[in-house]
Amino acid sequence: MNTPNIAMPGASLSSQASVPRTISYAQAFYWSVRREFWENRLLYLAPMAAAAIFLFSFVINTIILRRSMHGVWPAHTAQHDVLSLPYDMSAALIMGIALIVGIFYSLDTLYGERRDRSILFWKSLPVSDLTTVLSKLSIPLVIIPVLSYVITVATQFIMLLLSSAVLLGSGANIAALWTQESFFRGSLDLFYHMLTVHGLWYAPLYGWLLLVSAAAPRAPFVWAVLPPFVLWGVEKMAFNTTYFLSLLMVRLMGPPDPEMAMSKNADFMSTLIPRHFFDQPGLWIGLVVAAVFVAATIQVRRYRGPI
């Protein structure tokens, strides 16, 4: 420290101004999303673990099934249920896990960066709050649905292979597995469901969670749950109505589908397609609300520092 070389010629390596590369918006966005996966490995590990556990129990189930069949294929009426039930369950399980992961991710992400003070590091880089918040929003809205769809389809494909292998030589008609299950149509239905319901319909939910995550001084879970609870209580006390509650329930239970209730023996995959999804005002109102929440989140993050 006694002899700083500030005046020494040639002491600096970096006086030659290098021509800066250009970083496109897409590139900044890509790396912002990528770093979310470094931080939150649960985003892909949880659905993958769910799939692995499910496959394990499926193998056991198939072996037991084969023993009980004694070479006799189930009667035609029962056939559909026996075949499609495990596939529906695998989709439901992975989807449910993905939903939970997405909710907890959204609630923690902008709170966590303030808690561990790393927000100062992120803000020391040329990445705008807009890019940051949108990349974080894209995780529950797009990335998790697509990812869990891919995992579900892969799981179902492995299930098909497994049951074919187990049933091989049992006398059962293996070809029925591949044709009657209409595997590929089902998976398209699932994809549609993931993007519409998990992406678009739940958008205001994720927007709200991100806003709370950015704003809460502590305990974001309490801040996320308390306001709706208070709103419900106040409405109930003041007007003795529960509009807010029913609004909330509709939002959480998925879009209403009047035609669904009629068709009784529709299988699980087709329940995933709400009819007239894009005609529902609820969808568009929800998207507007989501946009307001996200815009507020971007503003709030500008003002926030470490806690």
Partner 1 sequence: MACIEARGLRKSFGTTVALDGVNFSVEEGRILGMIGPNGAGKTTALNAILGLTPYQGELRVLGRNPWTERDQLMRDVCFISDVAILPRWIKVSQALDYVAGVHPRFDRAKAEAFLAKTTVGRNRKVKQLSKGMVAQLHLALVMAIDAKLLVLDEPTLGLDLLYRKQFYDSLLNDYFDRTRTIVVTTHQVDELQNVLTDVMFMDRGRILLDCSMEEIESRYVELTVQPAQVAAARSLKPIYERNVLGRSLMLFDRADRPQLSALGEMRTPGIADLFVAVVGDHAGETKGAEV
Write out the residues near partner 1 by the rule CB under 8 A: 1-6, 11-15, 17-18, 20-23, 27-28, 30-32, 34-35, 38-39, 113, 116-118, 120-121, 123-129, 131, 302-303, 305-306
Smallest distance, Å, CB 83 to partner 1?
43
17 or 238: CB nearest partner 1: 17
Residue 273, helix vs strand vs coil: coil
- Start-end of H helices in the chain: 25-39, 42-69, 76-115, 119-123, 129-138, 144-167, 174-180, 183-193, 203-215, 220-239, 243-253, 258-262, 268-271, 281-303
Give the CA-trace dihedral at 211, 213, 216, 219, to 10 degrees: 140
34 or 276: CB nearest partner 1: 34
Smallest distance, Å, CB 293 to partner 1?
22
Smallest distance, Å, CB 41 to partner 1?
9
Q: How far apart are CA 136 and CA 228, in angstroms?
A: 23
* Residue whose tokens read 């529960």: 242
27 or 263: CB nearest partner 1: 27
Q: Which of 225, 216, 208 is nearest to 141 (CA)?
A: 208
Smallest distance, Å, CB 223 to partner 1?
22
Q: How far is CA 244 from the centre of its chain?
A: 25
Smallest distance, Å, CB 112 to partner 1?
9
120 or 234: CB nearest partner 1: 120
127 or 150: CB nearest partner 1: 127
90 or 132: CB nearest partner 1: 132
Q: What is the DSSP letter of 216?
A: -
Q: Residue type for 185, please?
A: R
Measured CA to CA in angstroms, residue 127 lies from 54, 78, 115, 118, 259 at distances of 40, 57, 20, 14, 47
21 or 70: CB nearest partner 1: 21
Q: Give, rounded to a whole angstrom, the gap between the first and last alpha carbons of the chain.
A: 34
* Residue whose tokens read 């556990």: 53
Smallest distance, Å, CB 133 to partner 1?
12
Smallest distance, Å, CB 131 to partner 1?
8
Q: Which of 104, 110, 36, 105 is nearest to 302 (CA)?
A: 110
